[in-house]
A and B are shown apart, each in its own frame.
Chain A
């Protein structure tokens, strides 16, 4: 056996095309369940609206409305997903959002400009996030406890800052900057987005043919691109009145998804969450990848706080209490693991959309607001249950790794004796166990 035989550069290796089963993997219930659930909910409300003779549920006005309502929780769900992937947990985002908003208004009321006020608010949020991160990662206190503490303490800071009163502002700079409508020509832009998708799918297929990738997503991307272009051109309005905040939300989600999905930074983040020790021994700066998500959480919580006050020009110290739980619910609906190493920001966004579609639907259809929270709770537990059950079933039906028979006694062989992954959770640290 040779160890490091360099292969001629540029040699392209033939790889077998993915099987249909592999290609279908992203569509399995435990991977895409949240999307199916969202589609089901939309269909239900649409049909219910039709049957009761109300306006079309998926009208441009109502969809823009749902998106606008989702903005705050949606942005935080994206960032919270990053934090959960890194293997941490943050309960303090609601309080930090309120504090960031309070600081921004206070600075604004001293006569400083909007930019200064916003930067002060964002800086406060980032500082709170850094505090969380340092306490969790460098001092080593459990993240749940730290952020439970800062959640309470930060809210207390806000009470001190405001003396328990609401803060208001007459300055309309914030409102000018962060509220209002930017109409989108949905027909054109979404068709363009679909065309880009289609092009990427074609490229993926070509690379697959050359044996460069084996992801197997190419055909789906082509198909989805065609459908999106067709639907956009046929059905979507030329004027979709989206608020500015929706654009911020979409930008945050798309950038976060691109970074996590395609960059080395994203890969390392998943590694740190998936197995911290292996990541550390691979030369990854674990502390950086654990602390940064907290800072981002603080920063974007403050941003959400600013978006909130830009609508109302006022904040009371109790505002956004419990926000963090809705955010976590969205991330969990999106299938994010609470143990780190797994999650997808776009699915968390869909999770947030589900929560606000439920609220919106109950309102529009006048189904009785009292049932809302019960339904939300059922949806969350139901989603988590389906994930667990579908994943368990998926594992049972997935073919185990059957290596080709070998007569020289190497590893492998049928029915691996000791799957590497099965060892770890209970494995005692041998070195420390024996002083």
Chain B
């Protein structure tokens, strides 16, 4: 047994019990899946394994001997490497410098390192240009560089936290190929992901955490997606995801009409019409122009030509004008684009509607609190009070706060960019339900998602984008996930496993 956690518990000084009697065993040369809803304790377990925080009780055994790692350097020296979701590479250095950053001392001599780098790439089965600046690399390639860095540091156990979040299909395949190759080489992995199909595809054994406890730990072969979901949250999700949108009543007025949106290198002439009460899904691979379409609709792309009209009225290509016309964007990267992390929930929620909540320029604090508390109640945000800073909320709850910002305003058109990314299954079901609620209230919704089955569950109509244009349009009742995948990737026949 390479790594063993025995009865590990973690109780934080404030009384939160993040882990209770968790046991985990990773065999040499195996890939171990770790799944659980947000807040189940995955990150805490990762931190304990990495030696970043000490467990309150229990033991960590490494190669059959008890160890006490009190700093990340200790575990790294032993051969454990942890890759966090946002890869801690130095974006301004080259690939080679990043991979060997642990050895940067004295004179940095490129030639011998290059030699070792080539050997490393051989092991990895993948080669990134060593002279490229990491900041210029696509996300998938950065992940590979991070794996290479871990191996260069002599890791025999690599813990990966959500490595495939917002990775394209092809990139996932490359990563998985490398991981399998390294497994054959004797390297072990702990793979933590929200993508259950990927967990099933890649891992040898899976441990499911819920509320800080291990609820399932079994060989992957004995599990399927339904069993994992049941273990994580119970049965509720299935029913919601298998729901199909009701047909749209005919004669609903057109709320949003975009004509010939074009932007050099991003969009090549896109038309889009959305009626009141309609949910339009935008399917496409990363880089297909799906997020760019939302930016163009929102007026965030100054070089975009074409017209956007709300209720038949053309609106200028500026964010402010579009917001005034009732368009709201729920951005993908909520921490960076959606929220002021240091602010309380109520301050964040009231920000877009501050003018309406103010009398003679002075915000009405009671009205703001009221709006925030309504958002908390209606969206099911789990928090002690509206005074909690959003930076302290978990991913799904933070995303709900972003929704809450627009919920009670005058927004008519909602543009949702990957609303469920990085959100656990339970919160995801809540959010999809919320999107349906928007439509039921007569709003127009455009939703972008990499999870095509999610689009199928929530949208009335799906447009498929590729290379900056709309290549197909389907009613959700008339299509399925394999067809969408094929259309989006430009295939004529359907190959490969579906992914979220």
Q: A3-B440, A408-B233, A411-B427 are in contact. Are A13 and B373 (CB under 8 A)?
A: yes
Stretch from B109-117, B267-275, B349-357 contacting the other chain? B349-357
* B352/A283 in contact, CB under 8 A: yes
Q: Out of B38, B85, B369, B407, which one reaches A3, CB within 8 Å?
A: B407
Q: Is B397's CB under 8 angstroms from A213's CB?
A: no
Asked if A278 lies at the interface with its beta carbon under 8 angstroms from chain B, I say: yes
Give the Cβ gap from B498 to chain A, nearest Cβ, in Å. 21
**Residue among B139, B212, B391, B408 with the most chain A CB within 10 A?**
B391
Give Cα A407 to B211, complex, Å.
Answer: 9
Counting contact residues on chain B (CB < 8 A from A), the size range is 35 or more
In the complex, the answer to whether B430 meets A13 with C-beta atoms within 8 Å is: no
Given contacts A408-B236, A411-B395, contact A427 B430 (CB under 8 A): no
CB-defined contacts of B291 to chain A, threshold 8 Å: 431
User: Which segment, of B119-127, B149-157, B336-344, B471-479, faces chain A?
Assistant: B336-344
| Partner-binding segment picked from B24-32, B198-206, B417-425 | B417-425
Contacts of B365 in A (CB 8 A): 212-213, 215
A-B pairs with beta carbons under 8 A, tally: 291
Do residues A411 and B396 form an inter-chain contact, with CB atoms below 8 A?
A: yes
B139 x A416 contact (CB < 8 A):
no
Q: How far, in angstroms, from A131 to B213 measured CA to CA in the complex?
A: 60
Q: Are A411 and B341 in contact (CB under 8 A)?
A: no
Give the chain B neighbours of A267 by CB distance below 8 A.
347, 351, 354, 363
Summarize A's interface: helix, strand, loop or mixed.
loop
Question: Which of A104-112, A352-360, A395-403 touches B?
Answer: A395-403
Determine whether the beta carbon of B437 is less than 8 Å from that of A401: no
User: Do A400 and B341 contact each other (CB < 8 Å), given the known contacts A4-B378, A281-B329?
Assistant: no
Type the 1/0 row for A376-415, where 1 means its CB is closer than 8 Å to any CB of B.
Answer: 0000000000000000000011111111111111111111
Q: Are B382 and A275 in contact (CB under 8 A)?
A: no
**Contact between chains at B424 and A409 (CB < 8 Å):** yes
Chain B CB count within 10 A is highest, among A279, A408, A422, A434, for A434
Contact B12–A262 (Cβ < 8 Å): no
Which of A274, A279, A280 contacts B342, CB < 8 Å? A274
Please give the distance in Å from B85's CB to the nearest CB on chain A.
Answer: 7
Asked if A285 meets B320 with Cβ closer than 8 Å, knowing A214-B387, A268-B354, A410-B426, the reply is yes
- Which of B85, B342, B392 contacts A341, CB < 8 Å? B342
Q: Is A370 an interface position by the 8 A CB rule? A: no
Is A278 a contact partner of B339 (Cβ separation < 8 A)? yes
Is B138 in contact with chain A by the CB < 8 A criterion? yes
* Beta-carbon nearest neighbor of B364 in chain A: A212
A419 within 8 A of B: yes
Q: Is B374 an interface residue, CB under 8 A from the partner? A: yes
Among B232, B355, B365, B394, max chain A CB count under 10 A is at: B394
Cβ distance B199 to chain A, nearest Cβ, rounded Å: 16
Are A420's CB and B335's CB within 8 A?
Answer: yes
Cross-chain contact of B86 among A7, A416, A423 (Cβ < 8 A): A423
Which residues from chain B contact A410 at a C-beta distance below 8 Å? 380, 382, 396, 426-427, 430
The reply to whether A262 and B352 contact each other, CB–CB distance below 8 Å, is no
- The reply on B43 being an interface residue by CB < 8 A is yes
> Out of B12, B41, B340, B384, which one reaches A403, CB within 8 Å?
B384
Across-interface contacts of B362 in A (CB, < 8 A): 262-264
Which one, B37, B324, B352, contacts A409 given CB within 8 A? B37
Chain B nearest CB, measured from A427 CB (Å)? 5
**Is A20 an interface residue when CB atoms closer than 8 A count as contact?**
no
Is there a chain A Cβ closer than 8 Å to B173's Cβ? Answer: no
Does A1 count as interface, using CB distance less than 8 angstroms?
Answer: yes
Contact residues in A for B385 (Cβ distance below 8 Å) = 15-16, 214
| B337, A263: Cβ atoms closer than 8 Å | no
Interface membership of A374, Cβ < 8 A: no
Chain B residue at smallest Cβ distance from A410: B426
Interfacial residues of chain B within 31-53, with CB under 8 A of chain A in the complex:
37-44
Name the residue on A nearest B16 (C-beta). A414
Given that A267-B354, A281-B337 are contacting pairs, would A430 and B139 also be in contact in the complex, using a CB cutoff of 8 Å? yes
A279 to B86, CA, bound (A): 23
Any A CB within 8 A of the CB of B460: no
Least Cβ distance of B332 to chain A in Å? 7
B220 at the interface (CB under 8 A from A): no
Query: Which residue of B40, B41, B337 has the most chain A CB atoms within 10 A of its CB atom?
Result: B337
Q: Which of A334-356 contact B (CB under 8 A)?
A: 341-342
How many Å lie between the Cα of A413 and that of B213 in the bound state? 13
Shortest distance between the CB of A280 and any CB in chain B (Å): 6
* A264–B391 CB distance below 8 A: no
Q: How far is the CA of A402 from the CA of B298 in the complex (A)?
A: 36
Known: A214-B369, A412-B397. A282 touches B351 (CB 8 A): yes
The interface residues of chain B lying within 8 Å CB-to-CB of A435 are 138, 265, 287
Interface centre among A281, A341, A410, A414 (most CB of B within 10 A): A410
| Contact between B233 and A420, CB atoms less than 8 A apart | no
- Contact (Cβ within 8 A) A418 B430: no
Taking CB atoms, residues of chain B closer than 8 Å to A427 are 86, 333, 335-336
B469 within 8 A of A: no
Which B residues touch A411, using CB under 8 A? 37-39, 381-382, 393-397, 400, 423-424, 426-427
Asked if residues B391 and A421 are in contact (CB atoms below 8 Å), the reply is: yes
User: Is the CB–CB distance between A263 and B361 below 8 Å?
Assistant: yes
Q: How far is the CA of A45 from the CA of B422 in the complex (A)?
A: 57
- The CA of A207 and the CA of B135, in the complex, are separated in Å by 52
Tell me how far the C-beta of A412 lies from the nearest C-beta in chain B, rounded to whole angstroms: 3
Residue of B nearest to A422 (CB): B391
User: Does chain B have a CB within 8 A of A428?
Assistant: yes
B341 engages A424 (CB within 8 Å): yes
CB < 8 Å neighbour of A413 from B38, B320, B407: B38
**Cβ of B20 to closest chain A Cβ, rounded Å:** 10
Cross-chain contact of B369 among A4, A15, A419 (Cβ < 8 A): A15
Residues of B contacting A282 in the complex (Cβ-Cβ under 8 angstroms): 323, 351-352, 405
* CB-defined contacts of B395 to chain A, threshold 8 Å: 411, 416-418, 420
> 6 other contacts beyond A267-B347, A278-B338, A413-B394, with CB at 8 A cut-off?
A398-B14, A403-B384, A414-B18, A414-B211, A427-B86, A430-B139
Smallest CB-CB A-B distances: 9 pairs: A421-B391, A412-B382, A3-B437, A421-B341, A409-B426, A413-B39, A409-B233, A283-B323, A411-B396
> Could you write out 5 A-B pairs with CB less than 8 Å apart?
A3-B440, A7-B374, A420-B335, A426-B88, A435-B138
Which residues of A does B touch, CB under 8 Å?
A: 1-5, 7, 13, 15-16, 22, 207, 212-215, 262-265, 267-268, 270-271, 274-275, 277-285, 341-342, 396-424, 426-431, 433-435
Instruction: Report B's interface with A, CB cutoff 8 A.
Output: 10, 12-18, 37-44, 85-88, 91, 135, 137-140, 142, 166, 168, 210-212, 232-234, 236-237, 265, 286-287, 291-292, 298, 300, 319-320, 323-324, 329, 331-343, 347, 351-352, 354-355, 358, 361-363, 365-366, 369-370, 373-374, 378, 380-398, 400, 405, 407-408, 422-427, 430, 433-434, 437-438, 440-441
